Copies of this chain bind each other. A is one copy, B any other.
C-alpha cells in the first residue's frame, strides 16, 4: 500500500477563473485510477483569441490515460464547469455523473455531439455515493448561484477529500438547499484529508450576503418604477430570476422572459423539479398588449453580449417590444472583468432612449455566489482538514487562500494548472509538471492555443496583410508583380497609391536580383517580403504581414 499515492492535478481552473477541470488519482505512480471533477469552458476575447468560439483545457494528458478514467463528476451546471463535456467526451469516453438539473444540461451537450445522453448518470444527493474504482463519490448540496450545486465528497484509500466546487454560505438561498453548518461539521467529523476549495472571493473582506437580502430591494425598485421594468441577470441564477419575477408579480406586473438561455434555464428548473412555483409568464406577443407600467421583462445579456436580449433592446425593437423614456433597466449582476466595455455600450444605448439604468454599483441588487474571506475561514474551521488546496482562482487568489489556510493550521500549496500534487502525506507536495494548455474550438475544429493559427490572425489584425503575386518563366519575371492590400491604407507619405509604390519597388527588386535568387523560391520570397516591409514602413509607418505567391511557368 505504501507505494500507492493520492494525486490532484488541475488541467484548468487553477491560475485562472474559468475552464475548471480537475483530476484526482489513486494508485501506484503512473498507474493511478483517475476521476475528473468538472470539465468546463472559458471564453475567447479579441485581445488573445479572435475568431475562436470557445476555449477548454488541453486534455492531451488525460486522453492518453483514458483507459484509467473511472468517471466524470460535474458539480454544477455553469458553463465553466460543464461547458466542455460535449466537446471533449469523445476523447474520454467515461461515464458522467451529476445531479438532475446539472445532468439535464450535460445530456443536452453530449447529445449535440451525437453521443448517447444516457452516458450521463443522474445521481441523488448525499448520502448516496457512487463507487468507481478506488473512489466513493457523493454529491453534497451546497449553496451557490445555480440550482443543485454540489460539493464532491470523495472517499479514497488515502482519506476523504472535500472538493467544494463553487459555493457560498447561504442559509436562505431562495432556490435549493440552505447551507447547513451542522451537515458540514458532520462531513468533517471523521477527519478530512484535503479540502480543495473555491478561492474566487478570498479578497472580499466582509461576510457574504444571502440571496434573500436582494428580494426586498428589488420589490421597492419595481414598485416605484413609473414605466416598463427590464431586469437582466445570469439566466442560470434561477433563484435571482425567480426573485425578480416575484418582485414583478408583487407589483402587479406581467412577467415576460426574453432570450433563449433565460427560457431554457427556467424550463430546465421546472422540468427537473428544482423550481415548482415560478410565477406565470407571458409571451412577447402577449406582452405587446400590456400597458408598460404593468410589464416586467427578464432578459439575457447581463454581460453586454452583442447578440443577447439586453443589447437588442438597447438598440431598438426586439420581438415587438421597445423601450422608451421613463422605463427602468436593472442590471442585477456583476460585470466580469473584460466585459466592462460591452456593458457600458448597452448602458449608454439605453440612456440614449431615455431609459434609467440601475446598475450593481450600489451593491444592493446583486450578491455574489462565492464565499468571501470570512466564509472561507468558516469553511476551513467547519471541515478542519489536514490540508487545503486552493482552486478556482487566479494565482493571486490561490496564494492568498493558501496563506489563509496556513493561518488556520492547515498545510497548503499554490498549485496552478499542470502542477501535479501528491496529497498522500501530511502536506501537499508538487511532484511533477505536465503540459497544461488551452484548446480552442475554432468553427468546427479544435486547435491548440499555441499552434500559431491565432497568432497569425492577431498579426494580420495589428499589421495588415500584403499579398504579392509574381509569375516567373525561365527565371525571368513575366509581366509585373501584382500586389493586393488587406487592412492597410491606400496611400502613404508619397501620396501615390501604396499598391503602385510596392509593385514598382518589387519590379525593380526582381530586375536587380541575381539569377540564383530568381531561380530560388525561398530566396526570392524572402527578398520580396523584406522589400515590401521596408517600403511599407517608409510609406505608412507599418510593417505588414506578407504572403508571396510565386508561380513558375513550365
Contact = CB atoms under 8 A, between A and B. Distances in A.
A508 interface: no
A496 interface: no
A541 B338 CA distance: 27
A445 B540 contact: yes
A444 B351 contact: no
A135 to B, nearest CB: 32
Contacts of A444: 492-493, 540-542
B50 A461 contact: yes
A530 interface: no
A456 interface: yes
Interface residues of A, number: 65
Given A461-B460, A547-B467, A549-B482, A489 B540 contact: no
Give the number of copies in the complex.
2
A395 B351 contact: yes
Interface in A213-238: none
A465 B469 contact: no
Interface in A471-493: 471, 478-479, 482, 484, 486-489, 491-493
Interface stretch (A61-69, A124-132, A339-347): A339-347
A207 interface: no
A461 B492 contact: no
A50 B486 contact: no
A119 interface: no
A433 B326 CA distance: 25
B460 A487 contact: yes
B47 A445 contact: no
B547 A549 contact: no
A450 interface: no
B551 A464 contact: no
Please indicate which of the listed interface residues A361, A453, A457, A463 has the most CB atoms of chain B within 10 Å of its own CB.
A457
Contact of A51 (B15, B47, B462): B462
A12 to B, nearest CB: 15
A47 B458 CA distance: 11
B341 A487 contact: no
A443 B47 CA distance: 19
A348 interface: yes
A447 B357 CA distance: 35
A447 B498 CA distance: 14
Please indicate which of the listed interface residues A396, A484, A542 has the most CB atoms of chain B within 10 Å of its own CB.
A396
A454 interface: yes
A476 to B, nearest CB: 14
26 contacts: A45-B46, A46-B46, A47-B47, A50-B461, A50-B462, A51-B461, A51-B463, A51-B464, A340-B340, A347-B396, A348-B396, A351-B394, A351-B399, A444-B493, A445-B493, A453-B464, A453-B487, A453-B488, A457-B460, A457-B461, A460-B460, A461-B461, A469-B469, A482-B549, A484-B549, A486-B547
Interface of A: 15, 45-47, 50-51, 203, 337-338, 340-341, 344, 347-348, 350-352, 354, 357, 361, 394-396, 399, 442-445, 447, 451, 453-454, 456-458, 460-465, 467, 469, 471, 478-479, 482, 484, 486-489, 491-493, 537, 540-542, 545, 547, 549, 551, 553-554
The 9 closest A-B CB pairs, nearest first, are A443-B541, A444-B541, A443-B542, A461-B461, A457-B487, A351-B396, A50-B461, A337-B340, A46-B46
